[in-house]
Amino acid sequence: MTLPLAEGLTFGIQTIYRRTEPADTPWVPNQQDGRDVVERVEQLGFDSIWVGDHLAFAIPILDPVVQLAQAAVFSTRLKIGTAVFLQPLRHPGPTAKQIATLDLLSDGRLIFGMGVGGEFDSDFKVAGTPRDERGSRLSESIEVIRKLWSGQRVSHSGQHFSFQDILMEPAPCQAGGPPIWLGGRSDAALRRAGQMADGWMSYVVTPSMYRAALDTIGAAYQKEGRTSPYFATAHLLYTRLDTDYETALGVASQSLSVRYNMDFRRAAERYCALGTAEQIAENLRAFYDAGVRYIILDLVGPYEERLDHMERFAQEVLPKLSQING
């Protein structure tokens, strides 16, 4: 592994608003629920709050940029991030403006996670974007967005996007723009992360898969001749803390099967951190040993239990990882 890794293990929380349980009436988000989640994440000492992105999904889902703008008001300490923003569904010009604005309004607390998507055709159908162009669109979008964040007059002529002599102001709060972390598990996605990104975030992988992926990213990073103080290595981890493994597996399988409109039990067995505090801590240690330095926790289960689940994780699991963080 040739990547410069950070020290210690940092934790964030995925999702502000979500309703996964079947209901007879349409789900309507409540602002107080969002405030309660963000404030609890901050009170418990987590580093960040994250949201996902879909245009048309199996469950109701809100726009990520608008959610994070609200979260930046509810907390003045937490970092905010997208895990991940499906950039191929959009033109990079408006994205550059939105993300620069969000970075400014959050005083430079934004981490911009991007990915290609593709698991759900409905996203691409409603966006009118060819699914088979998603990789090339993401790569070119990163180039365009960083140009527009420069605060200089820029031009671009590419496969998908072209413009001449454009000045986009104001520039983001963070010099050069917020860090870009890329998702994806294919070889092409891993090489893209090594060549272009400030970090990589995975999901539904095992520790051994994660370690192998970092080798691919590191090779691309080295071949590109890149140098940086560190390369962020993150993992979005579905987690259920419960009295025992089987109970946690049952809850996680049911919740994730509803969320993704598919039978998620086998995937939950392989990819989720489930069970008692010690069982989950053991899983997290394995990911740390594989190179993960940033865990984004998706605490699965009934909507009404989310605050209690978060608190129990902070009280029961995090102390078992104290050796990692000194």
Strand (E) or helix (H) holding 257: helix 245-260
- The rounded distance, in Å, linking the Cα atoms of 151 and 170 is 7
**pLDDT of 18:** 84
Q: Tokens 């987590």, residue?
A: 46
Mean pLDDT taken over the chain:
96
**pLDDT of 54:** 96
Per residue in 175-234, pLDDT (tens digit) is: 999 999 999 999 999 999 999 999 999 999 999 999 999 999 999 999 999 999 999 999
How many residues in total does the chain contain?
Answer: 326
**pLDDT of 284:** 98
SS3 state of residue 201? strand
The CB density around residue 139, as the number of other CB atoms within 10 Å, is 21
Burial class (CB in 10 A: 0-12, 13-18, 19+), 64: buried
SS3 state of residue 255? helix
- Residue of 312, 281, 298, 288 whose CA lies nearest to 44: 312
With bands split at pLDDT 50, 70 and 90, how would you rate the model's confidence at 23? low
What does DSSP assign to residue 241? E
- The rounded distance, in Å, linking the Cα atoms of 147 and 222 is 23
With bands split at pLDDT 50, 70 and 90, how would you rate the model's confidence at 27? confident
**pLDDT of 22:** 64
- Name, in order, each residue with C-beta under 8 angstroms of 109's C-beta and a sequence gap of 6 or more: 72, 78, 79, 80, 103
pLDDT above 90 covers what percent of the chain? 92
Q: Is omega for the bond preceding 170 within 30 degrees of 0, making it cis?
A: yes
Q: Tokens 């975030």, residue?
A: 201
- Of the candidate ranges 26-30, 31-35, 128-132, 287-291, the one whose mean pLDDT is the lowest: 26-30
- Name, in order, each residue with C-beta under 8 angstroms of 83's C-beta and a sequence gap of 6 or more: 14, 50, 51, 52, 113, 183, 201, 234, 236, 296
Q: Report whether 87 contacts 156 (CB < 8 A).
A: no
What are residue 50's DSSP bridge partners?
14, 81
With bands split at pLDDT 50, 70 and 90, how would you rate the model's confidence at 326? low
Q: What is the pTM of this model?
A: 0.97
Compute the Cα dihedral for 201, 205, 206, 212 and give only its sign.
negative
Hey, where are the domains in the chain?
10-321
Helix and strand totals (H; E) in the chain? 11, 12
- The rounded distance, in Å, linking the Cα atoms of 87 and 136 is 11
With bands split at pLDDT 50, 70 and 90, how would you rate the model's confidence at 73? very high
CATH of domain 10-321: 3.20.20.30
**pLDDT of 19:** 79
> Is the confidence at residue 93, as pLDDT, over 90?
yes
**pLDDT of 241:** 98
